[in-house]
Structure 1
Amino acid sequence: MARDIVIWPHKVLTTSTQPVTDFGPALETLLQEMSEAMAEAKGIGIAANQVGVPLRVAIVGREDGTQFEIVNPQLLSKEGSVKLEEGCLSVPDVWEKCPRVERVKVRYQDKTAQWHELEAEGRLAHVLQHEIDHLDGHVFVDHLSSLKRTLILDRMKKLQKSLARRKEEPSEGKGTKRS
C-alpha cells in the first residue's frame, strides 16, 4: 500500500536522513510503498523522507520509464551548471527554474547492499541531485530566491491546513451517523 507523501515544510523534509544499515525485508517493503506512492503521484523520483521515513534511500526514475533504488548515496563529483524546470511531490503544483549541475558521479548501494558508481548527465543527473538533496534535508525551493521561497511556503502551509481538515472530517458510511 502506498504511503502518503509529506508536504514541505514538514520537519522530516528539512532534517538529514540516517544511513540504511538493515538491508532486509523492511527495506524491500519500504521501497515497494515508495514506488507505489511515486506512481500514484506520477513522479520521477522519491526519497524515503518524502513518505515520512528518515532513512537514506530513494528511488530514481530514468527517462525510459524504468527506475532504480539508491541507498546511502554519496555525490563524488559535480561538473557544469544548468538551470532546469523542477517540481517536487512534496511541493505539489509548483514548478520553478532551479540551478543544478550538468554532470554528476554518484556512489550508492542497491537494496542488496552492493555498491555501485554511476556517472550521469542531463535529466538523470537532475533527478539524482534532487533526491540526494532530499536525503540531506533540502527541498528544491531551498535553491530559489527568498521571495519565491516565502511565497511557496505560504501556499504549502495553506495546503497542509486544508489536508489536515480533510483528515478530521468524518467520511460517509464509516461509522458516522447522520440525521
Structure 2
Amino acid sequence: MARDIVIWPHKVLTSVTQPVKDFGPALEKLLEEMAESMAEAKGIGIAANQVGESLRVALVGREDGTFFEIVNPELLERTGKVTLEEGCLSVPDEWEKVPRFEKVKVRYQDKTGQWHETEAEGRLAHVFQHEIDHLDGHVFVEHLSSLKRTLIQERMKKLQKSLKRKKD
C-alpha cells in the first residue's frame, strides 16, 4: 500500500537517516510501499524518509522504468560538473536547476544485504545524488539561493497546512 509522501520542511527530511541492519521482511515491505508511493506520484526516485521512515533506503529510477533498490549507500567517487533541472516528491510542483557531479560511483547494499558498486552519469547520477542527499538529511532546495529556498519553503508550509486540513 502506498504511503503518504512527507512534505519539506518536515523534520524527518532534515535529519540523517539510520543505517539498515535488518534485511528481513520489514525491509521488503518498506521497499514495496516506497515503490507504490513513487509510482503513484510519478516520481523517478524516493528515499525512505520521504514516506516517514528514517532509514538509509532509497529507490533510484533508471531510464527504462526499472530502479535500483539501494540500502546504506555511499558515494565513492564524484567527477565533473553538470547542472540539470530537478524536482522532488517532497517539494511538489517546484523545479529548479541544480548543480551536481556529472559522474558518480556508488557503493550500496541490496535488500538481501549483498554489496554492489555501480557507476552512473548524467540524469542517473543526478538521481543517485538527490536520493543520497535525502538520506543525509538534505533536500535539493538547499542547493538554491536563500531567496528561492525561502519562497519555496513558504509555499510548502502552506501546502502542509492545506493537506492537514483535508485529513482532519
Match of 1:30 in 2: 30
Runs (5+) with no aligned partner, structure 2: none
Match of 1:100 in 2: 100
Is 1:49 aligned to residue 49 of structure 2?
yes
Alpha-carbon distance in structure 2 between the residues aligned to 1:162 and 1:95:
21
Structural RMSD (CA):
0.4
Aligned residues: 168
The letter of the residue matching 2:28 is: E
Match of 1:174 in 2: none
Over 3 Å off, 4+ runs = none
- Which secondary structure state, in structure 1, belongs to the residue aligned with residue 85 of structure 2? strand
* Deviation sequence 1:77-130 (CA, Å, 0-9, x none): 100111100000000000000011100000000000000001110111010000
* Deviation sequence 1:33-78 (CA, Å, 0-9, x none): 0000000000000000000000000011001111120000000010
Runs (5+) with no aligned partner, structure 1: 169-179
Match of 1:78 in 2: 78
* Deviation sequence 1:120-161 (CA, Å, 0-9, x none): 101110100000000000000000000000000000000000
Alpha-carbon distance in structure 1 between the residues aligned to 2:104 and 2:47:
18
TM-score by length of 2: 0.99
Alignment of 1:93-172 (within 5 A): 93-168=93-168
The letter of the residue matching 1:122 is: G
Match of 2:10 in 1: 10
- Which secondary structure state, in structure 2, belongs to the residue aligned with residue 36 of structure 1? helix
TM-score by length of 1: 0.93
